Structure 1
Amino acid sequence: MSLYNIEVKKISGETIPLESYKGKVLLIVNTASNCGFTPQYEELEALYQKYKDSNFEILGFPCNQFGNQEPGNFSEIKEFCKLNYGVTFPLFEKVDVKGNTIHPLFKLLTTEQKGLFSGEIKWNFTKFLIDSNGNVVDRFAPTTKPNKLENKVKKLLP
């Protein structure tokens, strides 16, 4: 299965195919509003602002599977991210990133990326870097700050 065959729901409820991001470098992140890593929204937004005009997108997928750290509804999540961190990158509806109800996107991401960080997602703010052809090229632990990814992102941009 290709990344571009998967459909996702924006936080507004609109369903879109990931194919609409074809040709762009993507950073896909499972997020949460009440996590110790939540301040990473600020660095994610800074990275997005710096490269959004260079075929780069950050896609945030709220998840409530780790310590009930994303209990809000869609409007609460969107408002929290905008008010507290100025988030303008695309946010999507809450998804499951592990277990029997894993979203097809995260099933693909966790099986495509081999190596030390392969397999089930263990916490919020796990990050996946996707090249402009839809290939998973790297996976980063929640502790990896977004500003540490800049050089890897730049190498993939045209």
Structure 2
Amino acid sequence: MAQRWLTDDQQRIWRNYLALSSRLQAAMNRQLQARCGLSLADYEVLVVLSERGPIRVLELAAALGWEQSRVSHQLTRMRGRGLLERQGSEHDRRGATVEITGAGSEALRTAAPDHVALVRSVLFDGMTATQLRAFDAVLTTALNRLAE
């Protein structure tokens, strides 16, 4: 069976996507660290906790699309900094829940405006309504295919 390579256009688009993804994540990390001492991972966890309230650790991992070990390490670091609280057994991860603290809520309130401004300026401000709908369709299609 012959190997099927990406076309030149597909290769260019794929590499542009990878460059965008890594550069945007780096920019978000730099901005969050400078503004309020959060990492992008901290911010992602705080957003989920602020939207959902107390949540089981395994549900948090699913919401973030992270492996259990990554979530556990991240939660330990964040709990040590007072950004969240964890209730339940340390030995039974299925029953443990986490919730945002006042300090975590304040950090998120501080970080969110600049974070949103960065995302808006990089991704959305230069797009027409037609481009925005097309971008949404591309992302939705890819995410749906990954979920299959």
TM-score where L is the length of structure 2: 0.30
Tell me which protein shows more helix as a share of its residues: 2
TM-score normalized with structure 1 length = 0.29
* Bigger radius of gyration: 2
Higher RCO (C-alpha 8 Å, min separation 6): 1
